[in-house]
Chain A
Amino acid sequence: MAIITVDHLRKTYGTRVAVEDVSFSVKEGEVFGIVGRNGAGKTTTVECVAGLRTPTAGTVTVDADLKEQVGVQLQECSLPDKIRVGEALALYASFYSRPADWRALAAEAGLDLRAPFGKLSGGQRQRLSVALALVGSPRVAILDELTTGLDPRARRETWELIARIRERGVTILLVTHFMEEVERLCDRVAVISRGRVRAVDTPAGLVARAGGEQRLIFHTDDPVDGLRALPEVASVTVADRNGTEVTVTGTGDLLSAVAAVLPPSRTRGLRMERTSLDDAFLVLTAESLTGKEES
């Protein structure tokens, strides 16, 4: 059952097209990612979902009360410097008819209730912002670029917070450009480029779409020409340098197939590489640069 349905969404600002044509739907309880480069139209898309912007064309349907049941964490949105964490949470909790326990939320986010907003670190601000998005016990939480600008440790702490939230069954719409974030948190992802959806899939599905290729790299003094005949093998390359570094690409159970012909004991420094989500993202968004659409 879809809780969010975006159908042929288009949004223009004057003559500038921010979102060309975006469609996707999010199931209840899902963590749905929206990825894309800067300026791809991610934020505009979720701001249309949050009701902050009116679509130029197309429809956005959210099966929840936008004000009461959709919690929002906006990019570049802050609080007065002198407000304390506890005051902000208690204040926002008072806005909703069925607020969450804000003290528990603050504890979960690792926040000191007495700390003024102006003295919080970037990571603490983001976690407060997430806590504020959840303080109304929403069915849907929209989180826009919540780890941008955070150091790796603060990022991990924020991810842990999101992972705990998903366990409560809150549907999460997550805007990001970090593939690691997508891999850790998202059930499904929409890849957006130049205002259009390039793919909607699971993170693993995206990798597969981008080729899902594996590479075996090793050194050997044995002949490797026989490997080319294997059905799993797509290519075999021997580096010129010493003539001993071999790269074998292919699909399926590549490692076993190669090992059957060339025993691993005859190789040195064997390692295997797979297409990463980063690679997949680049492939999926690069296609669009040369593809049909030109706005």
Chain B
Amino acid sequence: MTKSFGKLAAVEARLFLREPMAVFFAIVLPVGLLLALGLTIPGFRDADPSLGGQRFVDAPFTAMMVLLSVVTLGLSVLPSSLVIYRERGVLRRLSTTPVRPGALLSAQLLINVVVSVVATTLTLVLGHLVLGVPLPGSPLAFVAVFVLGTLTVLAIGLLLAAVAPSSRVVQGVGSTLMFPLLFLAGMWLPRPLMPEILRRISDFTPTGAFGQGLMDALGGHAPQPLHLAVLAGWALATGLVAARLFRWE
């Protein structure tokens, strides 16, 4: 059983690496954007009083790129591969073997976690080496927020996969959801610059809480309990509903 899970995860990993779009959007794009914009847009590397004196490339931009990678994986890559597997009868076919189809789901989750860790590590290390972005001031807090946030986003992806009738729908819904969620996280308008009411709304969204938690941890602060609670609440709620509604065929 463990042997076949390892084999399943290895095959799933190879399949992931053969999807150029997934690799591009989950790894190359976030790291590339950070480096390219960080190096070319002059204001990004100047201390900005509206951001509390830090540079935009430091905590705000870096946190958004980590978020971009996780959200791409959770809202697009994970749900569409699961729905395609269901559509093609792969999950059903597995249920006739000694391996439970749940093993494929676990392998998919594992791959997505590993890829988000790789993308985040690359973002932090290359940002540090090329742009002088400080490494997370509170590494433990960063890991905690990262793990909780990633689980939350993947749980939302599972919920999408559970309710979507087809792969076309899940791809459409996933990318439609990504924009407001990234906006509310501060992708285009950093949270410190948001109007009070918008920031308040953002606090209660999974990506707003995740983004702020990452920024806090990168800047060496403890994440706010509110944001941790919001993430845990979303993870629990979406995860439970997904588990109830998930269909293998």
Please give the residue numbers on chain A whose beta carbons come within 8 Å of chain B beta carbons, in ascending order. 50-52, 66-68, 70, 72, 74, 76-80, 82-83, 87, 90-92, 94-97, 132, 136
Option from B85, B92, B97 in Cβ contact (under 8 Å) with A92: B97
Interchain CA distance A79-B88 in the complex, whole Å = 7
Decide if B7 touches A91 in the complex (CB within 8 Å).
yes
Known contacts A80-B84, A83-B11: A95-B89 contact under CB 8 Å = no
Q: Does B15 contact A (CB under 8 A)?
A: yes
How many whole Å from B107's CB to the nearest CB in chain A? 11
| Interchain CB contact under 8 A, A94 and B92 | no
Is B97's CB under 8 angstroms from A77's CB?
A: no
- Residue from the list B11, B18, B89, B98 in contact with A74, Cβ < 8 A: B89
Residue of A nearest to B1 (CB): A95
Q: State which of A70, A83, A97 has its C-beta within 8 Å of the C-beta of B15.
A: A83
B96 touches which one: A67, A79, A91, A94 (CB < 8 A)? A67
Q: How far is the CA of A87 from the CA of B14 in the complex (A)?
A: 10
Q: Using a Cβ–Cβ cut-off of 8 Å, how many residues does chain B contribute to the interface with A?
A: 21
Q: How far is the CA of A143 from the CA of B95 in the complex (A)?
A: 16
Partner of A68, one of B85, B89, B98: B98
- Given A77-B90, A80-B84, the answer on whether A95 and B96 have CB atoms closer than 8 Å is no
Contact A76 B89 (CB under 8 A): yes
A42 vs chain B, min Cβ distance (A) = 17
CB closest residue in chain A, given B5:
A94
Contact A77 B89 (CB under 8 A): yes
A96, B99: Cα distance in complex, Å? 8
Query: Nearest CB to that of A133 among chain B residues?
Result: B96
* Chain B residues within an 8 Å CB radius of A67: 96-98
**B92 A82 Cβ-Cβ under 8 A:** no
16 residue pairs bridging A and B, Cβ less than 8 Å apart: A52-B95, A67-B97, A67-B98, A74-B96, A77-B89, A79-B88, A80-B85, A82-B15, A82-B18, A83-B15, A87-B11, A94-B7, A95-B4, A95-B99, A132-B93, A136-B97
Q: Which 6 A-B pairs have the closest CB atoms?
A: A77-B89, A72-B96, A94-B7, A82-B18, A67-B98, A78-B88
> For residue A94, which residues in chain B have a CB less than 8 angstroms away from its CB?
3-4, 7-8
Does B196 lie at the interface of the complex (its beta carbon under 8 Å from any beta carbon of A)?
no
Contact of A52 among B11, B84, B96 (CB under 8 A): B96
Interface residues of B (CB under 8 A from A): 3-4, 7-8, 11, 14-15, 18-19, 84-85, 88-90, 92-93, 95-99
Q: Does the CB pair A70–B88 fall under 8 Å? A: no
Assembled-state Cα–Cα distance A174/B173 (Å): 41
Seed contacts A79-B90, A94-B3, A96-B98; 11 additional CB < 8 Å A-B pairs: A50-B96, A52-B92, A67-B98, A77-B88, A77-B89, A80-B84, A80-B88, A82-B18, A87-B14, A91-B11, A94-B7
A residues near B98, Cβ cutoff 8 Å: 67-68, 95-97, 136
B10 smallest CB distance to A (angstroms): 9
How far, in whole Å, are A189 and B4 apart by their CA atoms in the complex? 37
For residue B7, which residues in chain A have a CB less than 8 angstroms away from its CB?
90-91, 94
Residues in B with CB closer than 8 Å to A132 are 93
CA distance A128 to B78 in the complex (A): 27
Are B95 and A80 in touch, CB under 8 angstroms? no
The residue on A at minimum CB distance from B14 is A87
Q: How far is the CB of A210 from chain B (nearest CB, A)?
A: 35
Contact: A95 with B92, CB < 8 Å?
no
A96 to B4, CA, bound (A): 9
Residue of A whose beta carbon sits closest to that of B96: A72
Q: CA A94 – CA B8 in complex, angstroms?
A: 9
User: A20 vs B49: C-alpha distance in the bound complex, in angstroms?
Assistant: 77
Looking at the assembled complex, report how far the CB atom of B248 sits from the nearest CB atom of chain A, in whole angstroms: 10
Name the A residues within 8 Å of B14 (CB-CB).
Answer: 87
Contacts of B15 in A (CB 8 A): 80, 82-83
CB distance from A19 to the nearest CB of B (A): 18
Q: How far, in Å, is A95 (CB) from chain B's closest CB? A: 5
Whether B90 pairs with A80 at a CB distance below 8 angstroms is yes
Residues A74 and B84 in contact, CB atoms below 8 Å apart: no
List the B side residues contacting A97 at CB < 8 Å: 98
Docked CA distance A68–B97 (Å): 7
A72: chain B residues at CB < 8 Å are 93, 96
Residues in A whose Cβ lies below 8 Å from that of B4: 91, 94-95
